[in-house]
Amino acid sequence: MALPSGLDQSAIPPDFEKPFPPLVRASTVPALSAIDRPHRSDRLHLAPEDAYGSLSPPRWSTGFDGRGNGAGADLRPSRIQRNDTSRSRSRRRKRFQKLLWVKQSYPDNYTDQATFLEKLQRNPRVRPYDFWPLVADSTVILQHVCSVIIFIVCFVGIFQERVGPVSVVGWGSFASFLGWLLWERWVTQETRGGTADDDARARIMRGGHAYKEFHPPRRQDSSGPGQPLLNTSTGTTPSTSNLASAASSTANLVPEHQPPPLLLPTSGGNNTNNGSGSLLVPAHSRSVSSLNSVASHASATTPTSTQTRPTPEGAGSPTAPPIARGNRTYARVGSIKSAMLIYFTLLGLSPILKSLTRSTSSDSIWSMSFWLLAINIFFFDYSGSRVGIGGGRGGHGHKKTMPVASLSTNAALMASTVLASRLPSTGQVFSLTLFSLEVFGLFPVFRQYARRRSWRYHVALTVLLVLGAGGGMGIILGDETGWQPWKRGLLGMVVGCLVSALAMGGCSWWLIGLQKYKNEIYGPWDPARPIIISRRQWDDE
C-alpha cells in the first residue's frame, strides 16, 4: 500500500556536524497567550510565562520581560508579525515539527513559539462555587459540630449534677427510638418504591458495590459456558474480605448495630433465589455475639448477591416484596436484639469504666477529650457515603471516602469513655456512655439519611441542633450572671444562631474568595486518567 508520509523524511542522513543557521531570539521565545495575562499580577504562583519570565532567576528580568511588558497591550499582533518573519524563513527551512523521529533542521534547544506549551491547560476542571449551595453544604458540618456541643453540654450537665443522668439517657433513647421508627418507615418506603424503579434504589445504595450490581461488567454474560461457575468462586473471595475488613475497621460497638437493616434491602431486593440462605446465616452468627454480627452478616449476604450477578433477570426485575418485608421484620427484631445486648453490656461495664482513669488528673482528661473530639470533628466523613453496604469504606469507591473515617467515630467514643470515667456514680457513667453511642454512632447515620431523604428534614434538623447547642451552651456558661436558666438559654439560642449564620456565610465567602489563588497546571505530562468501563471487583488499592 501507499507508504505513509514519514518515510522520506526519515531517510535524510543525520548531519549534525554542520553548523545551524543562527537563531533569532524573537522566534525562539514562546508566545504569551493573551488569556494568561491577567494572572501575571499575582507573583506568588507559578504561571507558564513565569517559566522564562521574571520569577525565574534574574537573568531575564530586564531583557525579555521588559520588552514583553512594552508590547503587552497588543501581544497577538506582535506574535503574528513574528510569524511573518519566520514564514519568510520557512522557505529556506522546513517547518519545525514537535516530533523526535524527524531530523529537524533546527538546533536541539530551539523553542518553537507556536507549539511550545500549546497543550498547557490551567484550571481546566475548576468548578466555581456558588454562595448559597456552599452554605447549604456547610450545614452538614454545622450539624456535626452542634451535636458534639450538645454532647459536651450534657456531660457538663451531668458532671455538675444539674441534670439527672436518667433524664438525659431517657430523652436520648426516646429520640433515638423515634428516629429509628422514622428511619424504618423511610427504608420501607424506599424499598417498596425501589421495586418499581431502579433509580431510587441505586440512590440508596450509592456507596458500595451494590451500585455495581446494577451495572454489571459488560463482558460478563458473554464469555462462555463455564463462566458462572468461575464467577462465583472468584467473586466471593474479594467481597468477603472487603466486607470483613470494613466491619473490623469499624469495630466500635454500636454504629454497626443499625446497618444490618440497611444491608437487608439489597439482599432482599436482589436475590430471590438465595433469600432463604441469607436468612439462615445471620441467625446463626448473630447469636454468637452482636459485635461480629455485622461482619458475618455482611459477608454472608453480599456473596449471595454476587452470585446473582450472572443471572441478569434476577437482579433486573426483583419481584420479591414479601420476602423483603419478611426480611424487614427480621431486621427489626435483630436491631432490637442487638440494642438490648449493647444496653446490658454497657450496664455491666460501667463500674469498670468508672474507675478507669482514677489515677489520672482531671486536666489531662479535659485536654485529651478536647483533642479527641477535635479529631472527631476534623476526620468525620461529611461526604455522606457511609450509608450503604459495608459503610462504603470497604475499599470500593476508595477515591471518595476518607481512609480515616472510622478514626472519627473511634476518637469520639474514646473521648466519651474518658469523660465518663470522671463521673462519680455508675448510673452517670452508664448514661453518658449510652448517650455518646447514640450521638456519635446512630445519629450521624440518621442525619445522613434525613439529608438524602428530604431537604426540609435536613434544614429542620439543623435548626433544632443549632438551637439546642446554643441554648445548652447558654445554660451551662452563663451561670454567674444570675439570670434565670431559660433566659440564658434563650440568649444562647440567639447567639448560637448568629454565630452559626456568620460562620457559615463567612467561611463560604472566604472559600469563594480563595478560589482566585487556584492555579492548577495540566498538560500532556500528567498521568492520564484511564477510563475503564468494566472495572472489576478486585480492582481496589
User: Which positions from 221 through 260 interact with another protein, judged by CB under 8 A?
Assistant: 222-224, 226-227, 230-231, 234
Please give the size of the binding site for another protein, defined by CB under 8 A. 83
Residue 525 near another protein by CB under 8 A: yes
Site membership for another protein, residue 340 (CB under 8 A):
no
- Which of 37/67 has CB closer to another protein? 67
User: At 122, which helix (H) or strand (E)?
Assistant: strand 121-122
β-bridge mates for residue 395, sequence order: 397
Q: Where in 172-211 is the site for another protein (CB under 8 A)?
A: none
Give yes or no for a contact between 173 and 492, defined as CB atoms under 8 angstroms apart.
no
Q: Are 180 and 443 in contact (CB under 8 A)?
A: no
Q: Does residue 19 bind another protein (CB under 8 A)?
A: yes
- Single-letter amino acid, residue 472: G
E strand or H helix at 521: strand 521-522
From the list 110-118, 201-209, 404-412, 503-511, the region that binds another protein by CB under 8 A is: 110-118
Give the nearest distance from C-beta 339 to another protein in angstroms.
Answer: 40
The residue from 73, 100, 358, 513 that contacts another protein (CB under 8 A) is 100
CB of 231 to another protein, least distance (A): 7
Rg (CA), the chain: 32
Examine residue 316 and tell whether it contacts another protein (CB under 8 A).
Answer: no
Helix, strand, or coil (residue 408)? helix
Minimal distance, residue 277 CB to another protein, in Å: 23
Does 14 contact another protein by CB under 8 A?
Answer: yes
| Cα-based distances in Å from 244 to 55, 123, 196, 363, 429 | 53, 40, 32, 39, 31
Q: Kindly give, in sequence order, each residue whose CB lies less than 8 Å from that of residue 263, ignoring residues fewer than 6 positions away.
A: 297, 298, 301, 389
Q: Which of 78, 86, 116, 246 binds another protein (CB under 8 A)?
A: 116
Instruction: Rank residues 309 and 458 by Cβ distance to another protein and give the closer one.
Output: 309
Q: Which stretch binds another protein (CB under 8 A): 97-105, 174-182, 279-287, 460-468?
A: 97-105
- One-letter identity of residue 155: F
Distances (CA, A) of 61 to 49, 52, 70, 113: 12, 9, 13, 19
What residues contact 453, with CB distance under 8 A and at least 6 apart?
Answer: 186
527 near another protein, rule: CB under 8 A? yes
Binding residue for another protein, selected from 34, 51, 498, 502, defined by CB under 8 A: 51
Of 56 and 367, the one with the shorter C-beta distance to another protein is 56
**Who's near 238: CB < 8 A, 6+ residues apart?**
537, 538
Considering the complex, state which of residue 482 and residue 524 has its C-beta at the smaller distance from another protein.
524
Nearer to another protein, 101 or 510 (CB): 101
The residue range among 106-114, 333-341, 394-402, 437-445 that interacts with another protein, by the rule CB under 8 A, is 106-114
Q: Which of residues 385-424 bind another protein (CB under 8 A)?
A: none
What x/- string results for residues 64 through 93 when contact with another protein is judged by CB under 8 A? Answer: x-xx--------------------------
Shortest Å, Cβ 537 to another protein: 9
Binding-site member from 38, 58, 70, 513 for another protein (CB under 8 A) = 58
Helix (H, G, I), strand (E, B) or coil at 522: strand
Task: Spell out the residues 6+ positions from residue 327 whose beta carbon is closer than 8 angstroms to its own.
Answer: 264, 265, 267, 268, 275, 278, 279
C-alpha cell, 218: 459488560
Distance CA 219, CA 157 (A): 61
Total residues found in the chain within this entry: 541
